[in-house]
Every structure is written in structure tokens, then in C-alpha cells.
Amino acid sequence: MSNTKKITSALISVFHKDGLAPIVQKLDKLGVNIYSTGGTQKFINDLGVSVIPVEEVTDYPSILGGRVKTLHPKVFGGILNRQDNDGDIAEMSQYEIPQLDLVIVDLYPFEKTVASGASEQDIIEKIDIGGISLIRAAAKNFKDTLCVSSMEDYSEVLQMLDQGNGEISMDDRRRFAAKAFNISSNYDTAIFNYFNSDHSIASLKISEMHGKVLRYGENPHQKGYFFGDFDAMFDKLHGKELSYNNLLDVDAAVNLMAEFQGDLPTFAILKHNNACGIAQRDSVKQAYVDALAGDPVSAFGGILISNTEIDAQTADEIHKLFCEVVIAPSYSEEALEILKGKKNRILLIQKEAKLPATLTRTCLNGALVQDRDSVTDSAENLSNATHKKPTDSELEDLLFASKICKHTKSNTIVLAKGKQLCASGTGQTSRVDALRQAIEKATSFKFDLNGAVMASDAFFPFPDCVEIAEKAGVTAVIQPGGSIKDQLSIDYCNENDMSMVFTGTRHFKH
């Protein structure tokens, strides 16, 4: 092998020791001098392998409760020296600094400690100082040193040691240096974001260790990637690999269905990030059938999601439809067998997972960041704008429609009746266009809009929408309110025996 380096000495100091023993035993077999500290030193001793305490090199004990163990010139000199530099070689001899060709070090679990809800003192103690310094030093000097910074790499390192008989190529040392800087930068990002949780420092730092290359992006000529821990949110049971567009639709589906957790069986069908059908019923089968009735044309190739287990009866109905993805918290065994009848159909079990509190998207030559829209309109937050108040059933439909509206592209109007989406106007440049689109669509699928309700993501600047809706049969309206001309819409509703409630909250979605 060209540009190989023979490992003759190693520094090992790790928090996670799973999978470490075979490497230690291999290094011992190769005659490598092993240096270590604390718990790792004891671990190596317990394996019956000779180990040199770092304190014997530095002439300093571990101090300050273990906060300072390896921060010493004789340790960092052994890592950072340039083996082809005469001056470095002379100083190594002068100061009796041992050469360190391999550094196996990981970091305290800072992110896990934060996620556990630990006290700030415990979190601060998990900010690694010596480990991060050793990793950076070894990665910087990859020409002469192999840096192993994660237990996930132990099996590969063991394989490299076996195949090369202790010699490591330059390409591998450089590749492991990149891995090390990936870990160190992610670690520093997590620490900064913890201290800047209130965003008082206007700086954006995002780091995601899990990534996947997709078949392509939004279109075949675009490259696509997903960065995130998909497996933390879903168990994939069946089907082809998810595409870029699949992932966008799954995201939209999960966010929409989050509004209905704990409710009666609710089923939604989405296409291009918008719900084309959604219904809430006493059974999941009927919820699916009525969701499909909302737009059986758009449902073709759609994303299906349920807030409750999918049973065999429901699966029989779903199996008649070509759909890309089905999502549910669980499936009966019989339902799974039915749905697996299409080899490419993606079946996902949604786990309980916390979604990010902030949303980020590229904009111009930078990024836009905002809080997640966590407001769900509820009966307690409504104000009656009209003389007539909605009936109990109308109120239920209004809140149902409002939840859908919140997750539909603006400008949008949602028409609902009997906890079923009749139609929506999505992504229109005017609210009137959105309403007309919704009415036309509902009519085309034979919905009777008499007694239906209307939801709008933003206020009505003019009374034209309530007038058009009333003439189509709509009897109740939910909207944010806040227009300087609200009274015009209120007056029309009062004159035509309609009820209208204000939420006080706009739900634009662009």
C-alpha cells in the first residue's frame, strides 16, 4: 500500500466501550504500545492487556474531578508532531514525548443528556474538553495519525487492522479525519444551540449526522438528499425507497394528522402536500371510504394516513387504490398481508417522535427560520362575530375545517360538512379564486353544500367570499378576522342568517 503508516502506539480514552475489546486485543497482538486513562485504562487491564497510564507520560495525575486528564504537551506533542519534520523529531527526543499513531477517543453524550431533561449542571459536565481537543488534533495530523472518533467505526477499524497488519493507508486516515471533524462540528453545534436556545444570538447552526442520498430531487434532473433520522420517526415495513416528493408528502401528512391525535378514527389522503380527502368517523374503514369520496381522482398515487390502527376491512378498501405510501400507528396482521400485495407500496408505522420547534427553508442567498405554527384553533378561543351562533354540529365542523385549512397551501378555502372534507381551494392567488375552486370541485363530486361550513386561512378583505359561499349553501364561517372591513362580511352574514366566528389567528402556509 502507498503512503501507509504502521501503527506502533495508540491512545485510547472512550466513554462508550461497546465493541472496543476486539480492537484492543488486535493492537496487543500487533505489539502496539497502548496508553489510556481512567475507566478505559481499567477496561483494558481487565482484558489482560498491558496498558501505560497517561499519568506516567505527563507526570501529572488526573485532576479537578477528572476534568483535566490528557491536556498536556506530552500527549498533544505525540499526536501533532510531523514525522517528516526534523525539528519536530528533535523536540520529540529532547522532551521524551512518545509517538501516538492511533487515537481512539469519543465524546461525552451531550445531546442525550440535554434530551433526558437533566439539570444544567449535569449538562455542563457533559461538555467534553479533552476529548474534542484530542479528536481535532489527531484529525488535523491525519498524515501521521489515525483518528477514530465513534464507536460506530470500530468494526471497520478492526477490519483495516486485520487487512493491513497494522498499516493504515493515507486515504483511510484522511477519510477518518473527515469523520472526526463531522463529529466535532456536530458536537459544537449542539452546545451552541443549547446556550442559544432563546435565539438571542442571530446565528443559524444546523447539524444532522444522519443522511441519505435519494434517487433524485423534486425532478429527475435534480440531485436529492434527506438529512435526518427517519428511523426515529417510522418503522418501514414494506415497499420501495421513499423519494424526495414522497418525503415532502409524508411530512405534510404527519403534520396534518397531528391535529387529530386522540380523536375518533380519522383518515386523510394527501397529494402534493395538500389534503384532497379527510374524514372522521366511528370506524377507520368508514373514515377512509369518506376521505376517498372527497376526491377519488386526486387520491390516485397519493399518501394515506390514519390516526388509528388499520384493520383488514380498511386494508381491503385501500388495496383497490394505487397509492404511494400508507402511514398508521399500527396495522393488524391481516391488514399487513393485504397491503403488502403491491410490492412497491410503502408501509410505515409512525412512532411517537417530537417534531422540530422551528422550521427552516432556503431563501435568496440565506435561510428563513420561524417557529412552528403550534396554534390549533379551539372553541375556547373563538369569538362570535355575528348575531347567530353556530350550532353544536356546525361548531364541530368549523374546528374540523380549520385544522385542515391550517395545513393547506395559501390562499385556501376549505369546505366541510359532517366532519368530512367536501373540497378545498389550494394555493390560489386570491381568496375568491380559492373559494370558487372549492365550490366547483365539491359540486363535481356531488357534494350537497347546504349546511356546509367554510374555513379561511386569513381574513376576508371584502364580503364577496361570504356572499359566494352563502349562495352555494354554506351556513357557518370560521376565519381569523382582523380586516378593517370585517364589518362588511359581518353585515352580510347577519342579513342572510349565517353564523361567523373569529379565531384571531392567521394560518398562512406558503
Q: CA angle, 178 as apex, 214 and 44 as ends, to 5°?
A: 115
Q: What are phi and psi of 339, to 5 degrees?
A: -70, -25
Contact 46, 138 (CB under 8 A): no
d(CA 476, CA 390): 6
3-class secondary structure, 235 = strand
Element spanning 478, H or E: strand 476-479
Classify residue 101 by burial, with Cβ atoms within 10 Å: 0-12, 13-18, 19+.
buried
Contact 266, 282 (CB under 8 A): no
Task: Give the DSSP per-residue string, 459-476.
Answer: --SSTHHHHHHHHHT--E
Closest by alpha carbon to 285, among 237, 341, 335, 251? Answer: 335
Per-residue buried b or exposed e for 267-282, using 16+ beta carbons within 10 Å of the residue's own CB: bbbbbebbbbbbbbbe
Residue 135, C-alpha cell as written in the block = 479528536
Which residue is associated with the grid cell 444532522? Answer: 208
Catalytic residues: 140, 272
Residue 213, C-alpha cell as written in the block = 442520498
Report the 10 Å Cβ neighbour count for 81: 19
Q: What are phi and psi of 477, to 5 degrees?
A: -135, 140
Residue 225, C-alpha cell as written in the block = 438528499
d(CA 90, CA 354): 56
Contact 111, 190 (CB under 8 A): yes
Report the 10 Å Cβ neighbour count for 46: 9
